[in-house]
Amino acid sequence: MEVSGKIIAVLPPQGGVSKAGRQWKKAEYVLETHDAYPRKVKFDFFGDRADQYPLAIGDEVTISFDIESREFNGRWYTDIHGWKADKAAAPADGGFGQPAGPQPGFGQPAAPAQPDFGAAPAADPFGPAAANEKDDLPF
């Protein structure tokens, strides 16, 4: 499974020694999606992946993950274990929110159609006017 969004929290790293005597470490993060109703997703990288994918607040990422649930004392707990993180490409705007150059079709509205003022109107929008009726406007 995958989820994309922005890292909004980096939780303190955890580590220790297992019952078998092996060292372990875990890095936990919170990601906020870009949906119409943004969701917050807490996930972790365990073992070597904790060092392989260092993330920082503000990073735009796509996380590949597995979901695992377990029971403890009659209660169920669900964990999201990340196994891959793809960072979004760095923006070419120099960090100021504006594109470095023109990028047609990317985030810019289409150019409005230019009216043709030289063409004759197709029909009078206010109904037909008599040919010999004089306009009483002074201009």
Tokens 């920082």 belong to residue: 56
C-beta of residue 2 within 8 angstroms of C-beta of residue 25:
no
pLDDT of residue 75: 96
Q: Can you give the pTM of this predicted structure?
A: 0.62
At residue 129, does pLDDT exceed 80?
no
Tell me which residue of 55, 120, 121 sits closest to 82, measured CA to CA.
55
pLDDT band at 138 (very low <50, low <70, confident <90, very high): confident
pLDDT of residue 42: 97
At residue 121, does pLDDT exceed 70?
no
C-beta of residue 76 within 8 angstroms of C-beta of residue 69:
yes
| Residue 99, number of CB atoms within 10 A of its CB | 14
Tell me which residue of 116, 9, 19, 97 sits closest to 57, measured CA to CA.
9
Pairing mode of beta strands 60-72, 40-46? unpaired
pLDDT in tens, 5-50: 999 999 999 999 989 999 999 999 999 999 999 999 999 999 989 9
Quote the distance between the C-alpha of residue 84 and its chain's center.
18
C-beta of residue 57 within 8 angstroms of C-beta of residue 7:
yes
At residue 134, does pLDDT exceed 90?
no
Question: Could you give all domains of the chain from N- to C-terminal order, each with its CATH number?
Answer: 2-87 (2.40.50.140)
pLDDT in tens, 71-92: 999 999 999 999 999 998 755 5
Residue type, 27: A
More confident residue, 110 or 27: 27
